Structure 1
């Protein structure tokens, strides 16, 4: 299998007044195409910062990230945005749906940005797949948390991404709803042949993936395959 993400000696430091805080220290790992991968660790361990760097949402202070065969450091802000829209799907803890758009319109946004002519048709099929075929015209405020996250999952897969980053995807959901959303995420991921990277503090969820990267204090504690 080819590598879809290569991370080499990554460093990230934030400045606060005269103080500097290094949140990631010498992080190196790689992820293969179609692999399911979890990044785990306590709050403040650098998980979300690492995800943002890997997805090209922010720039590292040291090291190199290659995503889909491209060195992210060599790209301008606009070029990174194009790469994200073509190759990356996102699912966030707080859903990040656009409140003024219906469920159908939210799912269609990435496709419309790509200029797809059949954006609404694809979006309808995806919403049906996640069990929301009767919610096309509902706005986020008219949906439960679980329904909003299912819309977000459908949106994440709408542009057929090569890699999907999920940041605490069940963080705002009760256990039962969260379990259903995760089943859906893994099911669609397998069906679409996507690489799935999940940031979570939930070890039970992490155990469902093929590889686990454990962080503590911005350093790698372990990079392993879960025991089945």
Structure 2
């Protein structure tokens, strides 16, 4: 299979006052198309920073990120945003739905940004897949946490992304609701042929993916096959 994401010699640090804090150091790995891959590690180990670099939300100090054959550091911020809108889906711990839009409008947003004239038809299809088409006209405040995350899942898959990044997708959900969301995430990912990159502190969730990258202190501690 072809690589969808290649990470080489990645380094990232931040300056706090006069101190330099190295968050990631010498990170190397690659992910193939349609692979499921998790990034685990203790709080503060650099997991979310790494996810942001992989998705082009931030730039590394050195090293390279090649996403879908494109080296991200060569792109401007606007060009990276276009790339994300075309090829990348996101699921966050806190859902990040737009509060002034209904469920169906939230799902249709990425498609409308692409100028897709069938945005609402596609959004309805996805709401059917996540079992919430009857909540299409509800606003996020009228939905439970589990329902909001299912809407967020539908939105993440709306643009048929090549790769989906999920950052602690069950972090704000109770165990039973979280399990249902995870099942739905993996089902949709398999059905639509997407690559899944999951950041989690939950090893049981990580074990559902094909490969597990463990980070400690900003460095790779281990890369194992879970399947």
Q: Same fold (TM over 0.5)?
A: yes
Aligned to 1:194: 194
- Rounded to whole Å, the distance in 2 between the matches of 1:120 and 1:51 is 30
Q: TM-score, normalised by structure 1?
A: 0.99
Aligned to 1:74: 74
CA deviation after TM superposition for structure 1 residue 210, in Å: 0.3
- Rounded to whole Å, the distance in 1 between the matches of 2:154 and 2:43 is 28
- Rounded to whole Å, the distance in 2 between the matches of 1:125 and 1:142 is 21
Aligned to 2:209: 209
CA deviation after TM superposition for structure 1 residue 175, in Å: 0.3
1:84 aligns to 2:84 (yes or no) = yes
> 1:52-73 deviations in whole A, cap 9, x for unaligned?
0000000000111100000001
Runs of 4+ in 1 over 6 A off after TM superposition: none
CA deviation after TM superposition for structure 1 residue 79, in Å: 0.5
SS of 1:124's equivalent in the other structure is helix
- Rounded to whole Å, the distance in 2 between the matches of 1:222 and 1:127 is 38
CA deviation after TM superposition for structure 1 residue 224, in Å: 1.0
> Gaps (5+ residues) in structure 1?
none
CA deviation after TM superposition for structure 1 residue 137, in Å: 0.3
- Rounded to whole Å, the distance in 2 between the matches of 1:223 and 1:27 is 11
SS of 2:99's equivalent in the other structure is coil
SS of 2:82's equivalent in the other structure is helix
Residue correspondence of structure 1 range 1-228 to structure 2 within 5 A: 1-226=1-226, 228=227
SS of 2:133's equivalent in the other structure is coil
> 1:71-101 deviations in whole A, cap 9, x for unaligned?
0010011100000000000000000000000
> Gaps (5+ residues) in structure 2?
none
CA deviation after TM superposition for structure 1 residue 128, in Å: 1.1
> 1:24-68 deviations in whole A, cap 9, x for unaligned?
010000000000000000100000000000000000001111000
CA deviation after TM superposition for structure 1 residue 204, in Å: 0.1
SS of 1:208's equivalent in the other structure is coil
Q: TM-score, normalised by structure 2?
A: 0.99
Q: CA RMSD in A?
A: 0.5
